[in-house]
Amino acid sequence: MRVYLDNAATTPLDKEVFTAMTPYLLDHFGNPSSLHEHGRMVKSAIESARTTIANLLNASPEEITFTSGGTEADNTAILTAVKGEGITHIITTRFEHHAVLHTLDNLQQKGEINVSFINSDNNGNLDLEHLEILLATNPRSLVSVMHANNEVGNLNDIEAIGDLCEKYNALFHTDTVQTMGHYRHDLKKLKVHFLAASAHKFHGPKGIGFIYCRKGIKLVQLIHGGGQEAKLRAGTENIHGIIGLAKALEIAYQDIDHHQQHIQGLKDYAIDQLNELLPGISFNGNSANAGKSLYTVLSVGLPSLSLPRSLLQCLDECGISVSGGSACSAGGVSHVLKALQADASRDTIRFSFSKLNTKQEIDYVIEQLANIFQLKAA
């Protein structure tokens, strides 16, 4: 049996998405910048996909720009704020994805910005009173806070953060890579200037994402060349990826409530079974708190095993695919767990679920963990 519980790293491609993409891999191959019929037809499909996404998010099509994924979208948002809007102070958290933190490090080393970090408690809950102090003392900042953490699943109150940003005339960027397609986002109500998303986190293809940029702000180009994406993102468009992205988001929104109920049920069941199996295990951040965490992610601290191979390797040998945290940081020490001051003596496993997982798979994982820990005890 092979069980895949690493959906925060990437999700399986939905078969309906593949079906929608296939004609744009085989038949509709025109370059959308070409003026002939082959090009015009493909260009029309791209704009239709853009409109679909905008309608689902209650945005305008011109506010959606396609990118290679979440990393490019995050980089573009930050550089637009700094180089396009003249921002020199950025407020963020120590839990952000490296697409944000490394970009900020680079700009700070060049002397282009100063960075402030929002205080948080040991579970990673942000101190919004401290954020307000930072905004009051640093007018015209950019606030960059992810909607949900990719390693421990903490949800941040981006509605409240948006309200504070509006109050102090700050720009707001949020990375929704882990929540797009899993929660509804109303961009007319949410007071955000930039939003990043990536298709492969909600059963779409890899290598495609988008940035939402509110009207009135012009994106600063990362990639220069042709006039694609309204001269905002050069390079021949990833046509089949764009079609797949729009289809995946459309599918996600159709059954979002049902999927949330199903996946939350699996997560709750896993928490109960893990607690019964190994009393005294820990859950990182707000991971086990249904009201404060992403329903697809469960980060668990397990007793370390004195074995010649890691717990992750043991599980992989049992046919179970999980991770210790972000796939982008595999093999290193997680900056998120460091910021949370998590117990370094424990092995961290991130289980991340999708609509395709089943209760039977959770039972198999628990059975294999029981075998592993019994072998250790013996």
Q: Domain locations in the chain?
A: 3-11+256-377, 15-254
User: Is 344's pLDDT higher than 90?
Assistant: no
List active site positions.
Answer: 328
Alpha-carbon distance of 139 to 133, in angstroms, equals 10
Q: Using 50, 70 and 90 to split pLDDT, how confident is the model at 334? A: confident
Which range, of 114-123, 127-136, 301-310, 362-371, averages the lowest pLDDT? 301-310
259 by DSSP, 3-state: which? Answer: helix
CA 243 and chain centroid, separation: 20
Q: How far is CA 47 from CA 41, 212, 226, 308, in A?
A: 10, 15, 18, 54
Q: Sign of the CA dihedral 7, 9, 14, 17?
A: positive
Domain 3-11+256-377 has CATH 3.90.1150.10: yes
Share above pLDDT 70 across residues of the chain, in percent, rounded to a whole number: 96
What is the pairing mode between strands 171-175 and 142-144?
Answer: parallel
Candidates 3.40.50.450, 3.40.640.10, 3.30.1370.10, 3.30.450.20; correct CATH number of 15-254? Answer: 3.40.640.10
Strand partners, 211: 65, 196
Q: How far is CA 319 from CA 25, 84, 313, in A?
A: 33, 49, 10
Instruction: Return the C-alpha torsion angle 334, 211, 351, 101, nearest 10.
Output: 10
User: Is 340's pLDDT higher than 90?
Assistant: no
**Tens digits of residue pLDDT in 367-378:** 999 999 886 554
Q: Using 50, 70 and 90 to split pLDDT, how confident is the model at 304? A: confident
Q: Using 50, 70 and 90 to split pLDDT, how confident is the model at 343? A: confident
User: Is 144's pLDDT higher than 70?
Assistant: yes
pLDDT for position 378: 45
Alpha-carbon distance of 193 to 170, in angstroms, equals 9
CA terminus-to-terminus distance, the chain = 25
Section 87-111 average pLDDT: 97
What is the pairing mode between strands 209-213 and 64-67?
Answer: antiparallel
User: Is 327's pLDDT higher than 70?
Assistant: no
Main-chain phi, psi angles of 351, to 5 degrees: -90, 130
Fold agreement between 3-11+256-377 and 15-254: no
C-beta of residue 248 within 8 angstroms of C-beta of residue 117: no
pLDDT for position 337: 86
**Tens digits of residue pLDDT in 235-278:** 999 999 999 999 999 999 999 999 999 999 999 999 999 999 98
What is the model's pTM? 0.95
User: Is 312's pLDDT higher than 80?
Assistant: yes
323 by DSSP, 3-state: which? Answer: strand
pLDDT for position 305: 76
User: Is 326's pLDDT higher than 70?
Assistant: no
Whole-number mean pLDDT of the chain? Answer: 94
Alpha-carbon distance of 6 to 321, in angstroms, equals 6
Please compute Rg for the chain using Cα positions.
21
Q: Using 50, 70 and 90 to split pLDDT, how confident is the model at 309? A: confident
User: Is 210's pLDDT higher than 90?
Assistant: yes
User: Is 62's pLDDT higher than 90?
Assistant: yes
